[in-house]
Amino acid sequence: MHEEFMMGNQAIAMGAIAAGVNLVAGYPGTPSSEVLETVAKNRPDGCYVEWSVNEKSAMEVAAGAAYTGARALVTMKQVGLNVASDPLMSLEYIGVKGGMVVLVADDPGPISSQTEQDTRTFAMYSKLPCFDPTSVAEAYQMIIDAFDYSEKYNTPVFLRPTTRVCHAYQSISIKDESEYYVNSIEGFVKDSKRWVIFPKLSNLNHRLIEERNDTLSTVFSKYELNTIDNADSSNSRAIAASGICYSYVCDVLEEIEGEKPAVLKVATPFPFPYDLSGDFLVNHSDVLCFEELDPVIERALNYQCGQEGINCNVRGKFTNDSIRSGEYNIDLVRDRIYDYLGIERYETTRADKPELPVRPPVLCAGCPHRASFYAVKQAMKGSKTIYCGDIGCYTLGNAMPLDMVDTCLCMGAGLGIAQGVNHIEPDTKCFAFVGDSTFFASAITGVVNAVYNQADMTLIVLDNSTTAMTGHQPHPGTGRTMMGDVVNKISIEAVLKGIGVETVREVDPLDYELAVKTVKEVADEPGVKAIIFKSPCIAIVKPNEPYNICSGECISCKKCINEIGCPAIYLDNGKVTIDESLCTGCGLCSKLCPVKAIRRAGEGS
């Protein structure tokens, strides 16, 4: 063992490597992406890593590997699990041979997600065991344990850290290479009674799954990370917690003087460790629960009280003793604990703060998406339109002044929504905007649907040669794999043509006049047509020389600010100015300046 300072996601990756993982597949998504990236960076010999095209593919690839006896890890964010749920819900009935861990990162808040769904609830629904770490150190241990349990019980298991564990850093003890588990792979053994799902097999296995989960509930009551702290406290009021909330509770209890209340930590929310919690409940009059997202622990404890006739008052979200949505924080936990234990709260806020501007995320200075949106906006001026957006950096095209995202739902949905609107409102020009990574992940079937069902719509593919929002991962259009290979790029244009989209035009959105002209021409054609706006994300290429505003010529019309909202342009004491450290020289602002006052150094007027 040796000490290393690492991020939660890195710890999970290093734990998987120490557990002898043979295959890792995933699709990027905050806060999960660094897990797969870390495995790829530290990839042991004989371990295969891929960014799959989406979570469903990743789940199936991992399942195949686990069928052979390999240890497999699949990674995603919480909404990714929705995409992967079809294979997973069936895999539940088939099971695995090699250990298979499904890493799903939840995002209370949500901070960078569409939903506040709780993978612990999904674990219950899918009847799959679930591990929920409270810290970076625990995440490292848990993934190793998770592989062992998975293999022992022949079932995929969940590891579900939340953002504050994924993105926390801690110095932790990790194994040396000599201590790594080496998995010997038996290989796939044909047995259609085991690997081919049929109603009869599902019926048979369902019974076994319920029995296994009863067993696991008992086994987990003895799992070393399910614990009761201060078990002999004389206080009849106790606390139950999980995930990062447990760490907040520990920090708050460090502050208080005198005897500390007992704390039940639930590391395995499913199957719930009822033997352990039963002992805990009977010894207390009240239990206050701290858990983000769904009231999983609270519900289980309440259920147990009813089932076993235990007289304990379980409090939490159902009783409004805790907030029912949003992220918890240490201050909230402290205030609730102080109230609960009858300790006087102390004031922490400073009065009379000046009002602060909100600072929402925006498209970067020089982002090619800004130019694409602006070109469509200019081209369609005066027409009745709907701009169906999608998920990625380009969702930020919704902000003023662009205001070019009318809808956004989930990855790939913009295409379907545009078609639905088109069938009801044929006089509306329907646009769907989709990023290149999103195109491959979940938009292709939407295009097939549109072509087959004769929709009238324009698809705009925003091809910036990367998966930008989640940290610039490669995808099928980039020709780079996580094994370090350079492979043929899959052409978006060829895919669209293959589906039968007759008009497919590729344009550089920074070529402003051509971009506007192309949109005007294409949008007027009937049926399904597409424009691919191709220009790389500024984060993956070197910036061009910045632009300046010739102050003598600028007439302060502020058109550059009011029309495109590039964050490199600001007002300095009323004077329009370009921040040269931010400007990437995309030139968009220079195209709209009515007096051509925006130029590069050395360029004449």
DSSP string, 489-546: PPPHHHHHHHHT--EEEEE-TTSHHHHHHHHHHHHTSSSEEEEEEE---GGGSPPPPP
The answer to whether 462 touches 533, Cβ cutoff 8 Å, is yes
Query: Residue 166 CB, nearest distance to another protein (Å)?
Result: 8
Q: Is 317 in the site for ligand TPP (CB under 6 A)?
A: no
Which is nearer to ligand TPP, 106 or 436 (by Cβ)?
436
Q: Which of 13, 19, 444, 583 binds ligand SF4 (CB under 6 A)?
A: 583
Q: Which stretches of the chain bind another protein, using CB under 8 A?
A: 5, 30-31, 111-112, 135-136, 163-164, 167-171, 244, 247-248, 250-251, 254, 329-331, 334, 346, 348-350, 352-354, 356-364, 393, 396, 399-401, 469, 561-562, 565-567, 570-571, 580-581
- Dihedral sign computed on CA atoms, order 316, 319, 323, 326: positive
Q: Which is nearer to another protein, 164 or 591 (CB)?
A: 164
Strands 227-229, 130-131: pairing kind: unpaired
CA proximity to 463, closest of 509, 500, 501: 509
Is 404 a binder of ligand SF4 (CB under 6 A)? Answer: no
- Cβ proximity to ligand TPP: between 95 and 416 the closer is 416
The stretch among 101-109, 337-345, 390-398, 498-506 that binds ligand TPP (CB under 6 A) is: 390-398
CA distance 416 to 394: 18
Partner residues linked to 424 by β-bridges:
none
Which residues are registered as beta bridge partners of 504?
A: 530
Residue written as token pair 């009059």: 285
Q: Choose the one of ligand SF4, ligand TPP, another protein, none that binds residue 391, judging by a C-beta under 5 to 8 angstroms depending on kind.
A: ligand TPP
Surface-to-core class of residue 185, CB atoms within 10 Å of its CB (0-12 exposed, 13-18 middle, 19+ buried): middle
Calpha distance 503→529 (Å, rounded): 5
**Can you tell me whether residue 395 is helix, strand or coil?**
helix
Q: How far is the CB of 34 from another protein (least distance, A)?
A: 8
Assess 31 for contact with ligand SF4 (CB under 6 A): no
> Minimum Å distance from CB 12 to ligand TPP?
18
Looking at the Cβ atoms of 238 and 364, the one nearer to ligand TPP is: 364
- The reply on whether position 597 binds ligand SF4 by CB under 6 A is no
Beta carbon of residue 561, minimum distance to ligand SF4 (angstroms, whole number): 10
Looking at the Cβ atoms of 172 and 566, the one nearer to ligand SF4 is 566
Cα distance between residue 13 and residue 36, in whole Å: 7
**Closest distance of CB 126 from ligand TPP, Å:** 17
364 binds ligand SF4 (CB under 6 A): yes
**392 binds ligand TPP, rule: CB under 6 A:** yes
DSSP track, 228-250: EETTT---SEEEEE-HHHHHHHH
HSE of 397, CA atoms in CB hemisphere, 13 A: 30
CB nearer another protein, residue 111 or residue 208:
111
**Residue 386's binding partner, choosing from ligand TPP, ligand SF4, another protein, none, with beta-carbon cut-off 5 to 8 A by kind?**
none
The amino acid at 333: V
Size of the site for ligand TPP (CB under 6 A): 22
How many Å apart are CA 588 and CA 428, to the nearest integer?
A: 28
Rule CB under 6 A: say whether 470 interacts with ligand TPP: yes
Of the candidate residues 58, 468, 495, 519, the single one contacting ligand TPP (CB under 6 A): 468
- Whichever of 408 and 468 has its CB closer to ligand SF4, that residue is 468
Distance CA 217, CA 255 (A): 34
Residue 477 token pair: 């259009």
Interface with ligand TPP (CB under 6 A): 27-29, 77, 79-80, 83, 391-394, 411, 435-438, 464, 466-470
Interface with ligand SF4 (CB under 6 A): 363-367, 369, 393, 464, 468, 537-539, 546-547, 566, 568-569, 578, 583-589
